[in-house]
Amino acid sequence: MVKGAANSTALNSDHISTLAQTPIGWRDSPSHYGRISRALHWLTAALVTLQFTVLLAWGGMGENTITLFLANIGPHGSLGFLILIVTLARLGWAWINRKQRPSQPPGWGGRMARLVHITFYALLLWLPAFAVLRQYGRGGALRFYGMELLPEAERDITWMIAPADLLHGPLSWLLCGLVIGHIVMALVHRFWLKDKVLARMMGVSDG
């Protein structure tokens, strides 16, 4: 009987190990995010990082070879428009996978994480949307990496310009602060709490 129980335990252990090594699929699951969610997450992270890198480099060094190179890679308006498109794609994909995504932990920690994620999405939508609205309201051409999406026009629509003039700067720094806090909390989960939160977005598996 003891031998049978030992064999059963070994089989269960092998089964759990096999599940832990299951490759990540394209769709999300309750235990981890799928390939598309991960790709969109890290693409957003790269675009936002590049946006702030260009801004901080220009603010710190002014116009030079490095900042001109960075600006060519990530023109501010084009990069913002791309962030808007990627964020809309993330929201659409999150909606499709809404019933099978990893859930937030219970308690105040989960509620705080949910609030932070909602704020992230709101800022990633509002900031570029305000900027596009301002560009249109001023009659400026809207370009995406050299392609003209809207031509210049003679107009000055105050209500379109005002939100970006008032909020674009402060909300940008709020986003920057949230990004830093997000990174810090991810490292806290990984190295202090030693849970599986970071593995859901980074690891090959959640085991």
Q: How many CB atoms lie within 10 A of CB 124?
A: 22
What integer pLDDT is reported at residue 205 of this predicted model?
A: 46
**How far, in Å, CA of 83 to CA of 78, rounded?**
9
- The pLDDT profile of the chain, 207 residues, written as one tens digit per residue, is 444 444 443 434 443 344 344 567 889 888 889 999 999 999 999 999 999 999 999 888 888 888 889 888 889 999 999 999 999 999 999 999 998 888 877 788 778 888 989 999 999 999 999 999 999 999 999 889 889 988 998 999 999 999 999 999 999 999 999 999 988 888 887 788 777 767 777 755 444
In sequence order, the β-bridge partners of residue 147 are 144
In sequence order, the β-bridge partners of residue 148 are 143
How do residues 18-32 score in pLDDT, each as one tens digit? 434 456 788 988 888
HEC readout, the chain: CHHHHHHHHHHHHHHHHHHHCCCCCCCCCCCCCCHHHHHHHHHHHHHHHHHHHHHHHHHHHCCCHHHHHHHHHCCHHHHHHHHHHHHHHHHHHHHHCCCCCCCCCCCHHHHHHHHHHHHHHHHHHHHHHHHHHHHHHCCCCEEECCEEEECCCCCCCHHHHHHHHHHHHHHHHHHHHHHHHHHHHHHHHHHHHCCCCCHHHHCCCCC
What integer pLDDT is reported at residue 187 of this predicted model?
A: 85
**How far, in Å, CA of 152 to CA of 26, rounded?**
42
**How far, in Å, CA of 114 to CA of 116, rounded?**
5
